[in-house]
Structure 1
């Protein structure tokens, strides 16, 4: 009898494993091997140099104002002029700081824009393989799921159990209960 139970459990386990086919993909490695990446890297270098040039121009303008302030202070600047120049220097420092912070964000946005078509290309190839070979789930190199066969996705069932009605291509809407 024990053998029968073990065989039944083994058969059920194998059956449930047969229903799913899991794979992994390293998008970053694929991206690094794509010939288009060299063009993206070159575009990013040019864009980065342009941002650096803008920062350098602002920095040079800042340096001129600071040198001017130091020269006039030695010559005997009145208190009103000192405060005006100090405010100008502080404003330029703040502008420079903001420009440096924004340039990092702008570079990231530009990189995302350049890489988006490559990731789309990878995604299409992956989707074709998933359909051809019957994968149900694909994880990326960080163990984040990037594809799941809809028949194994329990999202709609959970929403239904919670009493939340979902219409296709619509936002999740809580079901109205009588008396509310």
Structure 2
């Protein structure tokens, strides 16, 4: 008798646990890409990139000019001056490579900084929609491989509506 009661309680608690879980999905990348603020972020990132490129081009032009000067005067230079100039050119080359690597990292940091408010806004909207509709978990379909997703549990359109974004005609899901 005890065994039957325990078995009944385990079965009942399993049913209650399953009944309390509601999982939904969202395509967060799609929403981020259609947000009006995303265009501003792209423009600001491109402007920042152009600024970095212009200072990089100044360094590169200086490097090229020094190489041309070295090539023109190489035959007239003594060994000591050649070695000194070659060391300077190698140092400039390393500096340019470092600047290029740092520029890529700076671009990524700037983009993340500019995107942070959009992700925060999206996260807040997802939280509100999930709570209002009784979801306990929301999975993102962006970048994940799902074998099957029931469209009735996809809250992408609900979140887009919550954010007040118009769905572009050519990209409607």
Q: Same fold (TM over 0.5)?
A: yes
Q: Which has the higher contact order (CA 8 A, sep 6+)?
A: 2
TM-score, length-scaled by structure 2: 0.72
TM-score, length-scaled by structure 1: 0.70
SS in 2 for 1:134: coil
User: What pairs up with 1:109-120 in 2 under 5 angstroms?
Assistant: 109-120=109-120
Count, aligned residues: 136
* Alpha-carbon distance, 1:15 to partner: 3.9
More helix by share: 2
CA distance in 2: counterparts of 1:26 and 1:12, whole angstroms? 33
4+ aligned runs moved over 3 Å, structure 1:
8-16
Unaligned runs of 5+ in 2: 1-7, 146-173
Match of 1:121 in 2: 121
User: What pairs up with 1:77-88 in 2 under 5 angstroms?
Assistant: 77-88=77-88
CA distance in 1: counterparts of 2:89 and 2:112, whole angstroms? 35
CA distance in 2: counterparts of 1:140 and 1:16, whole angstroms? 23
Q: What is the RMSD of the two structures over their aligned residues, measured on CA atoms?
A: 2.1
CA distance in 2: counterparts of 1:24 and 1:53, whole angstroms? 43
Match of 1:55 in 2: 56
Unaligned runs of 5+ in 1: 1-7, 145-180
CA distance in 2: counterparts of 1:20 and 1:143, whole angstroms? 21
More strand by share: 1
User: What pairs up with 1:4-153 in 2 under 5 angstroms?
Assistant: 15-74=16-75, 76-141=76-141, 142-143=143-144
Match of 1:167 in 2: none
